[in-house]
Structure formats: structure tokens, C-alpha cells
Amino acid sequence: AQTVTQSQPEMSVQEAETVTLSCTYDTSESDYYLFWYKQPPSRQMILVIRQEAYKQQNATENRFSVNFQKAAKSFSLKISDSQLGDAAMYFCAYRRLTNAGKSTFGDGTTLTVKP
């Protein structure tokens, strides 16, 4: 069974600084997808960024980028120029290529942004 581990329950960053959230996962499959979701206090789950395992290039979405290390099964999220609106809980998630309904989520990292 796949597992996703987020080892940092809480992180904080100064506004305009950069922060990296860690995620590791365990799988025996070679093709899969990895996601980072943001959950603000409103509870709405918002997709931040997605990475296909077969792509070596790290995904980037504006101020958000990932460091995907397939051999190490590591998938960290870097937030540059942090903004107050980035404060939220962040979840790392794994989805198989097939039978994709069975997504696996980590327990989340709460990010605080200090003004």
C-alpha cells in the first residue's frame, strides 16, 4: 500500500521569504502522480501543483515549485516570495496511474506567514 509522509506538522515563514515543505512517499509503482493541495481556513481544497512521475522536469506554477526526487521518493514544495494569503494547511497526495480513485494524502503541514 502507498503511504505519504509529511514530517513537518507546522512551519512558519516571514512574508516575502522562501519556505520548503517536505513530503516523502512509498510506492512500488513506477508511474504515478503527485500533488500539493492548499486548504485555507475556509476548508476548500485547492490544487497548487501537480507532478507526473515520468517527467524529470520539476513542475512550476508561478511562485510554487517542486523538487521531485524519484529515486529518493521525495516531493517537496517550495513557496517563493511568501504572501499572507499563502497561510494554510498544505497536503501532499499520491495518485496511481490506473485505479486512480485511490488517492493517498499526507497528514498535512500548517504554514504560518508572519508579516
The residue ranges that bind other proteins (CB under 8 A) are: 4, 9, 32-33, 42-47, 50, 52, 91, 93, 95-98, 100-103, 105-108
Query: Residue 88 pairs with which residues in a beta bridge?
Result: 111
CB-nearer residue toward other proteins: 7 or 18: 7
* Rounded Cα distance, 15 and 83, in Å: 5
CB-nearer residue toward other proteins: 78 or 96: 96
CB-nearer residue toward other proteins: 15 or 29: 29
In angstroms, give the least distance from the CB of 76 to other proteins. Answer: 17
Q: Which three cell numbers stand for residue 37?
A: 493541495
In angstroms, give the least distance from the CB of 93 to other proteins. Answer: 7
End-to-end CA distance of the chain: 41
Report whether 67 contacts 79 (CB < 8 A): no
